Structure 1
Amino acid sequence: MVRLFEMWLWLREKGQSLVEYALILVLIAVVVIAILTILGTQVSQVFSRISSTLGGS
């Protein structure tokens, strides 16, 4: 009976870790999307300038 209880606790902790890792991944994804949304136009402008400079020479 004690062994069964130990296995149940181990599985419960394993599931909890999985949820924590999933939450961290979601947070990272949201931050990356926010940064790309904010900086997207600036990066596009830089590539446009580079393209026009290379095409003009």
Structure 2
Amino acid sequence: MLNILRDENGQGMVEYGLLLGLIALAAVGAIVLLGPSISKMFSDAKAKLDNPAGT
């Protein structure tokens, strides 16, 4: 039983998995926080393209 607890095989994959999970969590958080402002920015740009000044 102690051999299983001390075995380090697969440790690197677990660390990569945890790192990937942390990056994914940060990306989702950024999208949730910045999503509305980015959506408004694109909506404003579309409105300006639909109704250009001087026409």
TM-score between the two structures when normalised by the length of structure 1: 0.76
Distance 1:25 1:44 in 2: 27
Stretches of structure 2 lacking an aligned partner (at least 5 in a row): 1-6
How many residues matched? Answer: 46
The structure with more helix, counted as a fraction of residues: 1
Stretches of structure 1 lacking an aligned partner (at least 5 in a row): 1-8
TM-score between the two structures when normalised by the length of structure 2: 0.79
Distance apart, 1:28 and its partner CA: 0.1
Report the equivalent of 2:37: 42
Distance apart, 1:25 and its partner CA: 0.1
Distance 1:54 1:27 in 2: 38
Give the alignment's Cα RMSD to 1 decimal.
1.3
| Misfit runs of 4+, over 2 Å | none
Return the match for 1:19 from 14, 22, 32. 14
